[in-house]
């Protein structure tokens, strides 16, 4: 997520305080522990333009360097994106970095950030320790989604995307709305988070992974939209 956005919000209903579930916790609960170690970042199944040179994932920032294994895993995930998406990232000189932590302000527990001041996506190795491979993929694609949305597509502002999202929002229970409060507001930050999350799940699906059943159930209209947008 962009560094300026908080993953944890609080809302009050009458005199009762409810704390929203951070995206990272919701993701981990949705997927659960990995049954085995596997790499879900396979080659894209969809037809795509001629393959270009891979996007390089830089190893390290001011917080230090990561293991070669983590850097290579992150690079394989990023380069499983469709060629047209990678070309958009190249056109805006988006840099991807794997590092122990972040050298820009980030919310507690953040797995990755996109800094729109430097056009840099950073993925934290430390934050992904012990997490399923799908979470690493989803984090990378979530931050790429922010980069594309903010620099190129502005898709979170698109009326068709917002219509699909609103259809899903209306069907959510009050408890689920409270737990996903960061995604519920009718403001640009919430739409941007919702786009990045649905973009991430669609890319996980495109590259051989599985969208969590919980997300499929709750966001049917949004996923249908994303499947058409990114076949």
Q: What is the pLDDT of residues 184-195, one digit of tens each?
A: 988 899 999 999
Question: Mean pLDDT: which of 33-37, 43-47, 154-158 is highest?
Answer: 154-158
DSSP 97: E
The predicted structure's pLDDT at residue 123: 98
At residue 144, the 3 state secondary structure works out as: helix
Q: 55 or 3: whose pLDDT is higher?
A: 55
Backbone region of residue 95 per phi and psi (left: phi > 0; alpha: psi in -120 to 50; beta: other values): beta
In a domain, 174, yes or no: yes
Exposed, middle or buried: residue 139 (CB in 10 Å: 0-12, 13-18, 19+)? buried
The predicted structure's pLDDT at residue 50: 63
pLDDT band at 153 (very low <50, low <70, confident <90, very high): confident
Q: Strands across the sheet with 112-115, in order?
A: 57-59, 95-99, 120-124, 112-115
The predicted structure's pLDDT at residue 69: 96
Q: 87 or 15: whose pLDDT is higher?
A: 87
The answer to whether 145 and 138 are in contact (CB under 8 A) is no
In a domain, 113, yes or no: yes
How many angstroms separate the CA atoms of 147 and 3, rounded? 12
Range 141-170 average pLDDT: 95
pLDDT band at 199 (very low <50, low <70, confident <90, very high): very high
Name the residue range of residue 118's domain.
20-229
Range 218-226 average pLDDT: 95
Mean pLDDT of the chain: 83
Q: 98 or 208: whose pLDDT is higher?
A: 98
Q: CATH code at 104?
A: 3.40.390
The total domain count for the chain is 1
In a domain, 6, yes or no: no
DSSP 152: I
In a domain, 85, yes or no: yes
The answer to whether 109 and 22 are in contact (CB under 8 A) is yes
> CA torsion angle for 103, 109, 111, 117 (degrees, to 10)?
-40
| pLDDT tens per residue across span 75-85 | 999 999 999 99
Exposed, middle or buried: residue 46 (CB in 10 Å: 0-12, 13-18, 19+)? exposed
Structure tokens at 189: 């930050």
At residue 10, the 3 state secondary structure works out as: strand
In a domain, 3, yes or no: no
In a domain, 91, yes or no: yes
pLDDT band at 28 (very low <50, low <70, confident <90, very high): low
């Amino acid at each position: 997520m962009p560094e300026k956005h908080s993953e944890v919000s609080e809302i009050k209903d009458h005199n009762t305080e409810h704390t929203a579930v951070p995206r990272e916790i919701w993701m981990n609960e949705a997927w659960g522990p990995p049954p085995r170690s596997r790499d879900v970042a396979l080659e894209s199944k969809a037809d795509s333009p001629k393959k270009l040179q891979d996007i390089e994932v830089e190893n390290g920032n001011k917080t230090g360097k990561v293991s070669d294994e983590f850097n290579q895993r992150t690079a394989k995930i990023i380069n499983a994106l469709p060629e047209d998406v990678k070309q958009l990232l190249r056109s805006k000189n988006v840099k991807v970095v794997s590092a122990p932590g972040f050298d820009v302000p980030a919310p507690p527990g953040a797995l990755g950030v996109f800094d729109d001041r430097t056009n840099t996506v950073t993925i934290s190795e430390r934050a992904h320790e012990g997490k399923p491979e799908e979470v690493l993929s989803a984090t990378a694609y979530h931050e790429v989604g922010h980069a594309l949305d903010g620099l190129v597509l502005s898709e979170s502002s698109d009326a068709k995307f917002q219509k699909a999202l609103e259809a899903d929002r209306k069907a959510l229970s009050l408890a689920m709305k409270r737990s996903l409060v960061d995604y519920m507001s009718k403001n640009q930050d919430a739409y941007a988070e919702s786009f990045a999350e649905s973009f991430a799940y669609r890319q996980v699906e495109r590259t051989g992974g599985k969208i969590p059943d919980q997300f499929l159930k709750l966001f049917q209209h949004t996923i249908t939209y994303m499947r058409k947008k990114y076949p």
